[in-house]
Structure 1
Amino acid sequence: MVRPASGGSTFLHLTLRAGTIMGDPTGRNDEGGEGSGTGDEADLSARLRRLDTRLGDVRSRRDRDVRAGSRAASDMSGLGKALRFSAEFIAGVIAGAGVGWALDQVAGTSPWGMIVGLVLGFCAGMLNIMRAAGELNRKPRSGRSPGDGRGGPDDGAR
Structure 2
Amino acid sequence: MTEDESGQDQQLPKDARLNSLDERLRQAQLDEKVRTGMARKPGDSDYQKGNRVLADLIGGLVGGAVIGWALDQLFDTTPLLLLVFLFLGIGVAFRNIIRNSSRRPD
1:137 aligns with 2:101: no
Equivalent of residue 82 in structure 1, options 50, 72, 82: 50
Higher RCO by CA contacts (8 Å cutoff, separation 6 or greater)? 2
Instruction: Identify unmatched segments of 5+ residues in structure 2.
Output: 1-13, 34-38
What TM-score results when the alignment is normalised by the length of structure 2? 0.56
State how far apart, in whole Å, the 2-side matches of 1:132 and 1:90 are: 16
Instruction: Identify unmatched segments of 5+ residues in structure 1.
Output: 1-48, 142-158
- Cα RMSD of the aligned pairs, angstroms, is 3.7
What TM-score results when the alignment is normalised by the length of structure 1? 0.40
Distance 1:62 1:99, change over 3 A: same
1:119 aligns with 2:87: yes
The alpha-carbon deviation at position 114 of structure 1 amounts to 1.3
| CA offset digits 1:61-102 (Å, max 9, x no partner) | 998xx9xx85x958x600011112221222122111111101
3-state secondary structure, aligned to 1:137:
coil
The count of residues paired between Structure 1 and Structure 2 equals 83
What are the within-5 Å matches in structure 2 for residues 6-155 of structure 1?
50=15, 51-52=17-18, 54=19, 55-56=21-22, 58=23, 70=40, 73=42, 77-134=45-102, 136-137=103-104, 141=106
State how far apart, in whole Å, the 1-side matches of 2:86 and 2:76 are: 17
State how far apart, in whole Å, the 1-side matches of 2:79 and 2:48 are: 36
| CA offset digits 1:42-65 (Å, max 9, x no partner) | xxxxxxx8344x244x367998xx
Query: Structure 1 vs Structure 2: percent identity of aligned residues?
Result: 29
3-state secondary structure, aligned to 1:84:
helix
The alpha-carbon deviation at position 112 of structure 1 amounts to 2.0
Q: Is the 8 A contact 1:93 1:124 kept in 2?
A: no
